[in-house]
Amino acid sequence: MDSRYDMRFTGSGGQGVILASIILAEAAVISGLHTAQSQSYGPEARGGLCRAEVIISKDEILYPRIITPTFLLALTQSSLDKYSQSISKDCIVVADSSLTVPDSLDPSRVVCLPILETASEKVGKAMTANVVAVGAINSLLGLFDDASLEEAVRRHIPAGTEELNLKALHAGMELVS
Amino acid sequence: MPSDLIHEYMRIDHLPHIWCAGCGNGTIMRDVAVALDELITDPEFALTRDQVVIVSGIGCSSRAAGYMDFNSIHTTHGRAIAFATGIKLANPRLEVIVLTGDGDASAIGGNHLIHAARRNIGLTVICFDNLIYGMTGGQYSPVTPHGDKATTAPYGNVDRPFDVAKLAEGAGASYTARGDIYHVRETIDIIKQGIKHKGFSLIDVYSTCPTYYGRKNKKGEAVDMLKWQKENLIPVSKYYTLSEQAKEGKLVIGPLHHSNYPEYSAEYAKIIEACKEAKKGK
Amino acid sequence: MAKAVLMQGNEAVVEGAIAAGMRFFAGYPITPSTEIAEQCALRLPQEGGTFIQMEDEISSMAAVLGASAAGVKSMTATSGPGFSLKQENIGYGAMAEIPCVIVDVQRSGPSTGLPTSPSQADYMQARWGTHGDHPVIALSPSSVAETYTLIIRAFNLSEKYRTPVIFLMDEIVGHLREGVTLPRANDLVINQRKSSFKDGANKFAYFVPEGEYVPAMKPFGKGERYNITGLVHDRSGFPTNNSQEAATLCTRLMEKIDKNADDIIRVEEYQMDDADTAIICFGGTTRSAKHAVNEARAAGKKVGLFRPITVWPFPEKQLAKWLGQVKKLLVVEHNYGQMLLEVQRCAAGQAEIDFLGRINGTVITPADIAEKL
């Protein structure tokens, strides 16, 4: 991976973008990297726009929040429209395929992936979209080895859902090849 | 007998107490000591003196904790029941007794009273109910009758009063009773029942405050106030034999309400036990 | 080596406290500290401890003091509005000398303020919140890993000095998740309260031998019947109006902290050896400040950082040491200037003092500090 990613995960409350950021932070810890994860709180965490942040770095992280993201995940149109306005020039944007990419975004920086559709159709459960996204992001950025990421997923999902979530993770990985 | 009792259970270095002549609080404190003595010496109940913790708040009543030679803690105004909750949960073996007043328990501490009753935590709360704030000099409390006088009700009290025992019962207390300072034996017995009862017990004991309540409301001297209790507070065994006409203006004393709802710290102990079992299973 | 785990600041409070021996928690839900109560509800019964959600903040503080008097290490957690409500019984804990830890995950105020936004505006409340002259120990962590070890220290100081210790966190650290390598249990130093009364002292629960400041404390139910009160009391623990007794008690309460300040105070000094400018900050603000120091150093500026870890008592002696060398002090905190007042008092004209504060609920960034430098 590159030496540091400042990643912002956005969507609507209930899509699990916070958990997606936590899984990647956990994978960073398992892989011996530095990480700092935080999230937006308040009414927006219970519906409406939702935002989580994770920094993954080979060096110590001092200031733990993100000033300009170098990676953005958007799972809803409103989050893509809003958060794509404050990203760095070379930021990688992953947007769900169902969204319309705003004209202001350089199309070469945007990767459109059918995350929501994969979760509901291929995995068979819409609520696994966040884990599908985690798999796709990892393949895209080459962050962690599969075993570390799988372990991170296992640590943060309810008991009894391992099979479903690992299926989602691998379905996500396969979206990027 | 009384002097032996005082030597045994009071911190005699700190007597005489601060209460006014004619105040009923000393009688209630003695009732509590007798009740504890009878339970400590009862081989069947097997209560030890070290197990007893006396917790009080602020006000005339709450000075009693310091005079009683047990583990004792004189806390902040209204918070005795909350302190007692922590003591009981930290060591459920302790027999935690709260000595409080009508203002302490039902005004500033009203929230703690109803929630401890709702949880049914195993405390015995004895409310020294003298119908007024004595320590601060005679202001009306939540139990001062409507129309009565106090330094802060010079034209008569506009408020409606609480019945502390009914308040506790309504909030979920599994044992409630009312006593007074005239019917000593009956009051000792309900205090004993309250302590023996596993859940939350509230014993509302009518005290007398001749200095402020009595004087402000022309209730006469301490003896007149005692006489009023003798004539108007009727033990439950007798009360229900009275005709409706004879009940007029009279109040019942004795046990009022009892249920066997599970006690809080015992319920929590089951959670700890279940967690222990789950750990073993791993 | 122990494995690193991802942990939130609020979670590290609970795990560290459990490692320190905390087995009773009473609290009331309030953002941004609620995760501490939730985690205690989950974890304490697993350790044989007890969690209770009380009816309000006041009773939570009271229950914690009661549980500690019964011999169990106890903690509560809250944020600004709840911290205000707890002050009454924090004073009681100081007067009756009952050990306990109060976690305040600060948020923007006054009043309900900005419930989920970072702030450090309870700094002065931590010192002066309860009425009357009273001793205070307050500690403030700047990372999740430090939260774990520092909360253990909070319990240790609380037990050693028989006083409530305030753990002054902020939302920046409380809600941050980072990797933490937990120390092994055998490597931890855990203080227990001095619980045996010395010869002849059992008659006097608050007896303090000559040259010492802290009386022993036996829990209720262990055979030492004594009285605890929030009134001024004599060595037996019984209320007194005697002015000599009052002076003895109240002076000892202050001196037990003042005379042991060197044992209580910890600071972090970063790049200070040749610094002519020092940033002074505490808690989560340190993260931005250190970043700014590194950037300033890269640009050839002699900037250092002085961080009180023990924020009360204020490390005046430790700061004074630098006052000849350092010409400029930049105080950075998420409030309108609170620790600033302590720095001004201590520097007393010996250095130029500048200030960067923030009260709009956003985090001070390294760039904000760089601009000020």
In this prediction, residue A89 has a pLDDT band, given cuts at 50, 70 and 90, of: confident
Mean pLDDT of chain A: 93
- Backbone phi and psi for residue C163, each to the nearest 5 degrees, phi listed first: -150, 150
Predicted ipTM? 0.96
Domains observed in chain C: 4-187 (3.40.50.970), 268-372 (3.40.50.920)
Cross-chain Cβ contact C178/A62 below 8 Å: no
Contact B37, B8 (CB under 8 A): yes
* Residue labelled with tokens 């390598």: C181
**What are C8-32's pLDDT values in tens digits?**
999 999 999 999 999 999 999 999 9
Which residue among A28, A64, A155 places its CB closest to the CB of C176? A64
With a pLDDT cut of 70, the percent of chain C lying above it is 97
For residue C110, say if its preceding peptide bond is cis, omega within 30 degrees of 0.
Answer: yes
Overall average pLDDT of the C76-95 stretch: 98
Which of C3, C5, C6 to mutate to probe the A interface, most A CBs <10 Å? C6
Structural domain of residue B106, as residue ranges? 2-281
Is the alpha carbon torsion for B3, B8, B9, B15 positive or negative?
positive
pLDDT at A44 over 60: no
Which of B11, B12, B83, B120 to mutate to probe the C interface, most C CBs <10 Å? B83
Q: Report the helix count and the strand count for chain B, using DSSP H and E.
A: 13, 10
**How much is the pLDDT for A41?**
64
- Backbone phi and psi for residue C261, each to the nearest 5 degrees, phi listed first: -55, -40
pLDDT at A47 over 80: no
Which residue among C222, C225, C238 places its CB closest to the CB of B70? C225
Is the alpha carbon torsion for C170, C172, C177, C181 positive or negative?
negative
In this prediction, residue A64 has a pLDDT band, given cuts at 50, 70 and 90, of: very high
Q: Which of B30, B1, B11 is nearest to B69 (CA)?
A: B11
What pTM value is reported for the model?
0.96
**How much is the pLDDT for C171?**
94
**What are B134-175's pLDDT values in tens digits?**
999 999 999 999 999 999 999 999 999 999 999 999 999 999
Give the minimum alpha-carbon distance from C146 to chain A in angstroms, rounded to a whole number: 13
> Considering only A86-90, B30-34, B92-96, C123-127, which range has the smallest mean pLDDT?
A86-90
Give the minimum alpha-carbon distance from B110 to chain C in angstroms, rounded to a whole number: 11
> Considering only A117-126, B17-26, C201-210, which range has the smallest mean pLDDT?
C201-210
Contact pairs from chain B to chain C, CB under 8 Å: 146
Q: Read off the amino acid at residue A40.
A: S
Cα torsion C202, C204, C207, C209 to 10°: value is -50
Cross-chain Cβ contact C178/A22 below 8 Å: no
- CA–CA gap between residue C140 and residue C98 (Å, rounded): 21
Q: Give the DSSP letter string of A45-76.
A: GGSSEEEEEEEEESS---S-S-SS-SEEEE-S
CATH number at residue B114: 3.40.50.970
Cross-chain Cβ contact C24/B90 below 8 Å: yes
C261 touches chain B (CB under 8 A): no
Q: Which of C121, C112, C87, C119 is nearest to C102 (CA)?
A: C87
- Residue in C with minimal Cα distance to A18: C177
- CA–CA gap between residue C347 and residue A62 (Å, rounded): 28
C-alpha triplet A174, A161, C41: angle, nearest 5°: 130
Instruction: Give C6's contacts in chain A (Cβ within 8 Å).
Output: 22, 25-26, 29, 35, 37, 155
In this prediction, residue B1 has a pLDDT band, given cuts at 50, 70 and 90, of: very low
Cross-chain Cβ contact A62/C172 below 8 Å: no
- Backbone phi and psi for residue C257, each to the nearest 5 degrees, phi listed first: -90, -50
**What are C215-274's pLDDT values in tens digits?**
999 899 988 889 999 999 999 999 999 999 999 999 999 999 999 999 999 999 999 999
CA distances in angstroms from C89 to B78, B79, C62, C345, listed in the order given:
11, 9, 6, 29
With a pLDDT cut of 70, the percent of chain B lying above it is 99
Which residue among C49, C96, C221 places its CB closest to the CB of B91? C221
Overall average pLDDT of the C156-174 stretch: 97
Give the minimum alpha-carbon distance from C207 to chain A in angstroms, rounded to a whole number: 48
Instruction: Give B89's contacts in chain C (Cβ within 8 Å).
Output: 24, 50, 52, 63, 67
Which residue among C220, C222, C239 places its CB closest to the CB of B87? C220
Give the minimum alpha-carbon distance from C246 to chain B in angstroms, rounded to a whole number: 17
- CA–CA gap between residue B234 and residue B252 (Å, rounded): 5
Q: Give the residue with greater pLDDT, A37 vs C210.
A: A37
Overall average pLDDT of the C298-307 stretch: 98
DSSP state, residue B199 = S
**How much is the pLDDT for C322?**
97
Cross-chain Cβ contact C363/A29 below 8 Å: no
Q: In A110-134, which positions are buried (b, 16+ CB within 10 angstroms) versus exposed (e)?
A: bbebbbbebbbebbebeebbbbbbb
- Rg of the Cα atoms in chain B: 19
Overall average pLDDT of the A89-113 stretch: 94
**How much is the pLDDT for C199?**
54
**Number of domains composing chain B:** 1
In this prediction, residue C203 has a pLDDT band, given cuts at 50, 70 and 90, of: low
Instruction: Give C288's contacts in chain A (Cβ within 8 Å).
Output: 62-63
Overall average pLDDT of the B27-35 stretch: 97
Q: Report the helix count and the strand count for chain C, using DSSP H and E.
A: 13, 15
Which residue among C52, C69, C229 places its CB closest to the CB of B89? C52
- CA–CA gap between residue A21 and residue B3 (Å, rounded): 73
CB-CB neighbours of B75 under 10 Å: 31
pLDDT at B248 over 60: yes
- Rg of the Cα atoms in chain A: 15
- Rg of the Cα atoms in chain C: 21
Cross-chain Cβ contact A29/C366 below 8 Å: no
> Considering only B246-250, C86-90, C305-309, which range has the smallest mean pLDDT?
B246-250
Overall average pLDDT of the A90-114 stretch: 94
**How much is the pLDDT for C201?**
47
Instruction: Give C229's contacts in chain B (Cβ within 8 Å).
Output: 66, 73-74
**How much is the pLDDT for C70?**
97
- A109: its two tokens: 């920086």
In this prediction, residue A46 has a pLDDT band, given cuts at 50, 70 and 90, of: low
Q: Assign B67 to helix, strand or coil.
A: helix
Contact C268, C150 (CB under 8 A): no
Overall average pLDDT of the B8-21 stretch: 93
In this prediction, residue C346 has a pLDDT band, given cuts at 50, 70 and 90, of: very high
CATH number at residue A136: 3.40.920.10
pLDDT at C197 over 80: no
Q: Give the DSSP letter string of B214-259.
A: IHHTT--SHHHHHHHHHHHEEEHHHHTTS-HHHHTT-EEEEEEEE-
**Number of domains composing chain A:** 1
Output the 3-class SS for B78-118. Answer: CCHHHHHHHHHHHCCCCEEEEEEEHHHHHHHCHHHHHHHHH
pLDDT at C344 over 60: yes
Subunits in contact with chain B (3 or more CB pairs closer than 8 Å): C
- CA–CA gap between residue C326 and residue C31 (Å, rounded): 39
Mean pLDDT of chain C: 95
